[in-house]
Amino acid sequence: MLLRSPRFADENIPPFELKGSLFTLTVLHLFQLDRAAIERHLTEKVKQAPSFFNNTPVVIDLEGLVEPPNGLDGVDFNGLYALLRGHGMAPVGIRHGSPELQAAIRQAGLPILPDSRSAGAAKKTERPEPAPARSRIVNHPVRSGQQIYAPDGDLIILGAVSAGAEVIADGNIHIYGVLRGRALAGVKGDVETWIFCQSLEAELISIAGRYRISEQINLDPADRGKPMQIHLMDDRLVIDHLIR
């Protein structure tokens, strides 16, 4: 039962409001429906970085799913949700998939997210249209718990990015300090964006959705504390010394 409002509450004030916002979501691209195989692979991933996946919002993407030859009998999306929750994740919805898969999702009572292909997939084979050159400059360190976003351009941080902070840009990211938090460049799909920082100690780096977490960065000890640059090559993240 809902709590009763105090009699003195202002009835002109609405009980809530809805606002659009930007959240970082992990996408699980599902290729097969073998629950045992999914659980084995998921367990391995979580062991690599348990804190990263704890309470992480996850979108299940079915675009690359190979449907079983015997049809969709036995497909259990609620079971998949339970499996993800059992590993500490927070599934928020499912996207893509055939009409038959989407019917099974609806029957399970789960949310279907809008098809992103209408906005993004048409540009997969070509570079996205260049956005107007517009940079956001932040002239102070970014503290833990802060999120800073630069839409339609580059993000320039004149200081450090603390652990637990997140910096996001549609374009490149320049950090004139230590990167200890998360940095996500090219979040609208531009694979030619870069991340630059004076020292790389990041929790996560990402360009156009391809990412590495701290356990996967594996810098040589001799490179710690040195300026670094991150970019994509052949669809994988490459970390190099900053060329001067």
**Model pLDDT for residues 178-197, shown as the tens digit of each residue:** 999 999 999 888 999 999 99
Query: Is residue 21 over pLDDT 60?
Result: no
The pLDDT mean for the chain works out to: 81
Burial class (CB in 10 A: 0-12, 13-18, 19+), 114: exposed
Q: What is the pLDDT of residues 137-153, one digit of tens each?
A: 999 999 998 999 998 89
Please give the model's pTM, rounded to 2 decimal places.
0.57
What per-residue confidence (pLDDT) applies to 35? Answer: 84
d(CA 103, CA 82): 19
What pLDDT was estimated at residue 75? 77
Break the chain down into helix, strand, coil percent, rounded to 5: 20, 30, 50
pLDDT band at residue 65 using 50, 70 and 90 as cut-offs: confident
Q: Higher confidence at residue 3 or residue 172?
A: 172
- What pLDDT is attached to residue 103? 87
Q: What is the DSSP letter of 112?
A: B
If you average pLDDT over residues 27-45, what whole number do you get? 86
Domain ranges across the chain:
26-118, 136-241
Contact 171, 191 (CB under 8 A): no
**26-118 with 136-241: one CATH topology?**
no
Using alpha carbons, select from 131, 133, 197 the residue that is nearest to residue 165: 197
Instruction: Report d(CA 65, CA 95) in Å as an integer.
Output: 11
| Least confidently predicted of 70-79, 84-93, 167-176, 190-199 | 70-79
Question: In the predicted model, what is the mean pLDDT of residues 107-134?
Answer: 60
What pLDDT, on the 0 to 100 scale, is given for residue 160? 96
pLDDT at 143: 94
pLDDT of 82 over the 50 cut: yes
Report the C-alpha gap between 174 and 167 in whole angstroms.
10
Pairing state between β 147-150 and 173-179? unpaired
Residue 19 has pLDDT above 70, yes or no: no
From the list 40, 37, 97, 94, the residue with the least C-alpha distance to 72 is 97
Task: Output the CA torsion sign for 56, 240, 195, 223.
Answer: positive
CATH topology of domain 136-241: Pectate Lyase C-like (2.160.20)
- Mean pLDDT (whole number) for 163-183: 93
Residues 103-117, mean pLDDT to the nearest whole number: 80
pLDDT at 23: 62
Tell me the DSSP string of 137-150: EE-SPBPTT-EEEE
pLDDT digits (tens, 9 = 90+) for 221-233: 777 788 999 999 9
What is the CATH number assigned to the segment(s) 26-118? 3.30.70.260
